[in-house]
Amino acid sequence: MRRRISKKRISNRGLILVAACAAVSLAAQPCQWRNVTPSEVSGHISEIHWEASVLEYLNFATAAPFSGGLENAIAHLERERRDPGYSAPVGALTAAHLTGIVEKLQRLEDTRDFNAMTLVALLLRYEDHPIAPPEVWDTIRALLLSFKYSWTDPTPPQPDPDDPLRDWDNSFYWTENHRIIYYTVEYLAGQRMKDACFWIFGFPRTSECTGPGEMTGQEHMDRARGLILTWLDERSRLGFAEFHSNVYYEKDVEPLLLLTEFAEDEEIRARAAMILDALLIDLALHTRASSFGVTHGRSEMKDKFRGPSDNTYSMAKLLFDQPGSLGYPSRNDRSAAFFSLTENYRLPEVIARAARDTRTFVDRSRHGINLDETAPVVPNPEIPSSTPAGIDFDVTPANLDFWWSFGTWTIWQVIPITITAGDERNLWNTDLFGPFKSLRDLLGDPPNLSVAQGLAQPLAAVLGFGFLKEANTYTYRTADSMLSTVQDYRKGMNGAEYHAWQATFDTEAIVFTTHPGKSRQPPVEWIGRTEGEPGYWTGSASMPRSAQHENVGIHIYSPARGQNGFLGFFSFPLMTHAYFPQDHFDEVVQVGSWTFGRKGDGYVALYSFRETEWETYTPEELAVLSAATIRPITQSFDLVARDHAENVWIVELGRAADWGSFEAFRDAVARADVEVTEVPGSIAAFHAYDVFYDSPSQGEMHFGWENPLLVDGVEIPLHDYPRMENPWVRSQWGDRVMILDEDGYGVVLDFDAGTRHVYGPLTTRP
């Protein structure tokens, strides 16, 4: 029988003001009817404003017929629930729409947890709604009942010896975002079907619920609860290893929203809302025109070449809708759909205000854990001081979950855990670990773990491509532009998805540099798809040593290995280059070693020590890129410094408010003294540099491969930043209370107590 889906109605403004004024009166404070707003009492964004924003998205998402995507189904269902004049299409979601998902889940393919998360949302909010026939709802329940939720569960045998896709579990359970998604799906599916017997597809079901991997829903809930709370505690202590990720912050937000909305456990709901606040203030501070255009721990070119293509864009637009934002890019957006269905979580007003603020400010943040991959190999490695209690390098599931979420599977301290798990779980044939199978075979049986550690340590520059080390990030945002850098981060080392720095002016006028991991690829290889890691634009064959102070950044490239990497693997082109889309700026001018751009009243100057030229692209290639952007692309966007993997790039931002004309800014920067001094023989076969730049805005700046950043003789710290420091948040590293506050609006997050207090000017701050 269909569960009744009650209509949600927008609250009457008069009733809200009456309630607000009553609350103020109870607090013995005077009430002025025309001045009181609900936000001043609750500290949350206005419900009326929020409902209008949600309906704007839902109207867009449902303006066309049902797309066949599950997220679009949620949009149609949610519009029906909120809009009395709308009905979701009956019978639109058919078994055919689930065919690909069924195969993906049953084959244990990677990212199947993303699909399962949407299935859980559908089941918990809209179960048995006639948008789908009964057999589709039966399929959804069966998929969740037969889902493999953990890497510690048994893997079913291969049913077809001739099927190459079905002889191992290719799921990746361990990245930061995958962990919380798997835990959340397990918990909520178990909660919905507590008394049912869950099994794993591929194993025969037993009537006693005692077969391989069989557990009751309650048992799944009990197992997942502790894992969820552990993950939430790690984030409260360490922030996000996948720092500022415009791909994976979305994947963190979605399970957190489901937990705040559907979890029966009050502690889980409260702590999930707290981590949502911490993540969303991070997003708010680092967006411009709803574009998350900053340094990233994990990003891909398909997400970063323009704001609306990144995974966080739709939720940033829904929550903040900053000036310059474009329309919603997709009718099938999971994060926007999940925010639309959420009633229990409301964004604090202080976060919305931080997103919309136009003043000039700096944010300094620290994320992750400071594990030294270059430390000498010793029998008992030192545990970083910020490691949560109970975590060490012993071979246990808890240690594996923790360390692998930082991409440490090839770091020498974690190698014993990796090899042991790889052997026990047959991971050497999976997509991630397959490339290391030949290295594993060299270690013999049983493997010599000390030899493996001794090999991994000197090869950290190439093998540590996924390592998400502690990151200190610096972002400078004004009314006209934003510049962001991860300071002195794994210099010279290979990074699959690192994004060292970016200057952002609007959704498409952006600038950044990379040392590519692959030769030139046409846009068709990276628009809307993954180009490989590291690729021509995604990640970095070697990270620069970077430093930023306010509006100026200096980036020194010099690989920490030979061109052929290791045994021919991880080779790279001898070049660095900049993404500088000329068509997306109002003016682009080159003077000597400098390339200048103007977008509105924002200016950028980009210097290359090596001579540069614009890469040639065919009209057909430019047409492919033009089809994906708002303004056509007719000129090259790829500024290349050829023949050398080592280079120095300097970026300086300016504003009309400070310089007046673009010409005045150009003239001052072009005349500035730049001195680049080669430091020979410091790294492998490559050279590093010391840099002097007499910045017109900052004064004399000195920086080097080994030397600190000095600005007018004063050293600028590049490490040991606070957890978060900006006009809204001042939280030291290790603090167990985070306070967001300004103009009487705020949030107090007490992570030890597990309490969240949101307040406005007319309520009492704790």
State yes or no: pLDDT of 203 exceeds 50.
yes
Mean pLDDT, rounded, for 542-560: 97
Residue-averaged pLDDT of the chain: 92
CA of residue 645 relative to chain centroid, distance: 28
Residue 532 pLDDT class (50, 70, 90 cuts):
confident
Q: CA distances (Å), 246 to each of 148, 234, 498, 547, 745, in order?
A: 28, 20, 11, 21, 27
State yes or no: pLDDT of 750 exceeds 50.
yes
DSSP string, 9-34: -PPPHHHHHHHHHHHHHHTT----TT
Residues in the chain: 766
| CA end-to-end distance (rounded Å), the chain | 47
Gyration radius of the chain's alpha carbons: 26
112-165 pLDDT, tens digit per residue, is 999 999 999 999 999 999 999 999 999 999 999 999 999 999 998 865 656 654
Residue 666 pLDDT class (50, 70, 90 cuts):
very high
Helix (H/G/I), strand (E/B), else coil: 680: strand
Residue 765 has what pLDDT?
A: 81
76-91 pLDDT, tens digit per residue, is 999 999 999 999 999 9
Answer yes or no: are the C-beta atoms of 346 and 352 closer than 8 Å: no
Residue 295 has what pLDDT?
A: 98
State yes or no: pLDDT of 658 exceeds 70.
yes
State yes or no: pLDDT of 5 exceeds 90.
no
Answer yes or no: are the C-beta atoms of 502 and 510 closer than 8 Å: yes
216-256 pLDDT, tens digit per residue, is 999 999 999 999 999 999 999 999 999 999 999 999 999 99
Q: 674, 606, 671, 663: which is closest to 637 by C-alpha?
A: 606
Mean pLDDT, rounded, for 628-650: 96
Q: Which residues contact 507 (CB under 8 A, 6 or more apart)?
A: 289, 290, 291, 306, 307, 308, 324, 325, 326, 630
Residue 766 has what pLDDT?
A: 79
419-466 pLDDT, tens digit per residue, is 999 999 888 888 888 888 888 898 999 999 999 999 999 999 999 999
Strands (E), 77-140: none
Residue 719 has what pLDDT?
A: 98
Domain boundaries, the chain: 45-347, 471-724
- Report which DSSP code applies to 694: E
- Report which DSSP code applies to 434: G
336-381 pLDDT, tens digit per residue, is 999 999 999 999 999 999 999 999 999 999 999 999 999 999 999 9
Mean pLDDT, rounded, for 636-665: 97
Answer yes or no: are the C-beta atoms of 718 and 692 closer than 8 Å: no
Helix (H/G/I), strand (E/B), else coil: 654: strand
Residue 15 has what pLDDT?
A: 37
- CA-to-CA distance for 55 and 231, rounded, in angstroms? 33
State yes or no: pLDDT of 62 exceeds 90.
yes
State yes or no: pLDDT of 601 exceeds 90.
yes
| 333: amino acid identity, one letter | D
Mean pLDDT, rounded, for 590-605: 98
% of the chain surpassing 70 pLDDT: 92
Residue 22 has what pLDDT?
A: 36
Q: 274, 66, 47: which is closest to 739 by C-alpha?
A: 274
- CA-to-CA distance for 250 and 315, rounded, in angstroms? 8
6-30 pLDDT, tens digit per residue, is 555 444 333 333 333 334 333 334 3
Mean pLDDT, rounded, for 315-326: 94
3-state DSSP of 510-525: EEEEECCCCCCCCHHH
Q: Which residues contact 596 (CB under 8 A, 6 or more apart)?
A: 587, 588, 589, 590, 603, 604, 605, 606, 662, 665, 666, 669
The 10 Å Cβ neighbour count of residue 583 is: 18
Q: What is the pTM of this model?
A: 0.94
Residue 432 has what pLDDT?
A: 81
Q: CA distances (Å), 433 to each of 402, 421, 465, in order?
A: 18, 11, 13
Mean pLDDT, rounded, for 582-592: 98
